[in-house]
Amino acid sequence: MGSYVGNGAARSFTGVGFSPDYAMVLPAGTGKAVSRASGQTTSFALDADTGNAGRISSLDGDGFSVGTSADVNTSGQIYHWVAWDQRGALTDVSTYTGTGTSGLTFFTGFQPGYAIARRNDTATASAAHQRMSSQAAGDSYPFAAGGVLADSITAFNALEVAMGTNAVTNTSGATHSLIAFKSRPHPAGGGCSAPGTQTLGANADAWVEEQKANDNNGAATLLELQSRTTGKNKRAFVRFNLPAIPAGCSVALATLRLNNAAATAGRILNVQTPSAGWAENAITWGNQPGVAGTTKSAVAAAGFMEWTVTDQVRGQYTTNNGFRISDAVESGAQPGFEQRFNSREAVSDQPQLVVVYQ
């Protein structure tokens, strides 16, 4: 947060400490608050507005820039600003495409306590709308004077926001912005009761082979991956027991680390979430579950490889099916592209999940 005095000339503000995903500028005197979210093509007032690029002109690497608009830069006028970074499990700033139909949901990775939605539209004077979790189901409210808007931001679910059919939040084919904030409980003393990092060891891992569809490799000391023609692909699975989240904390960052003891360098390796459970000593190619949700990728290299899996781990606190690791392009050319990771049965460099709680 900060303040500045307008000078009428385009200028930049640095020293924020991060690249903002959402920023507001509010005049101390007469005028209206304006905001800009990452993914928006311009900045908007919070009431009905078609945007103005001369307000918050850009969100930068260490701050933001303003143009010459009187809303943000009247000479001699005092302005206040506040900026947010997209923070895992606390703040989500994203865009989505409206469908115009009911059942539209947007994944945030946490249950929001407050959200703002608006259409990114420079042709139609649409307004931003907001909802708090304490308000009636299906209701949202404009920032300007006005009544409740029904069937707009309809629900805050465990990991997502649900939208109704109202055009304010769900115009078919239009791009909308969603800024969601978690309602964060504070224990006595305030904040996260036990912030810090925990490094977890796997409690189950195995690999499966297409050519031997009924074989289980849950006791192997290596987890094999392969992209190879003639039905010789291989995939690996790994799962970790998650500790309870400390009071007042959330999962800020999670990193999967696997030691590639025999690498085919340069291959893109994907980490995905199995759509059902599996057992270390029973999983085979023939009975392996499918995958669902987001994909995280990394370039194969020797030594410990890392994938940022924050969203997946947040979801695992609801249903923990672990991870599937595979080559991004299977059925590759002969003689094949193979990786061999140390498993939890190896004598050293076993799989790790590093979780940061804040």
Q: How far is CA 118 from CA 142, 147, 229, in A?
A: 10, 17, 48
Q: CA–CA separation, 203 vs 208, rounded Å?
A: 17
What's the pLDDT score for residue 187? Answer: 57
Average pLDDT of the chain to the nearest whole number: 91
For 299-332, give one letter per residue: b (16+ CB within 10 A) or e: ebeeeebebebbbbbbbbeeebbbbbbbbeebeb
What is the reported pTM? 0.56
pLDDT at 15 > cutoff 60: yes
Q: Helix (H, G, I), strand (E, B), or coil: what is residue 348?
A: coil
Of 225, 188, 103, nearest to 154 by C-alpha is: 103
* Percentage of residues in the chain having pLDDT higher than 90: 63
Domains in the chain, CATH or no CATH each: 2-84 (no CATH), 91-182 (no CATH), 196-357 (2.60.120)
Region 81-103 average pLDDT: 88
* Phi–psi pair at 93, nearest 5 degrees: -120, 115
Q: Which of 145-154, 216-225, 301-310 shows the highest mean pLDDT? A: 216-225
Q: What is the pLDDT of residues 163-203, one digit of tens each?
A: 889 888 889 999 999 999 987 655 555 667 888 899 999 99
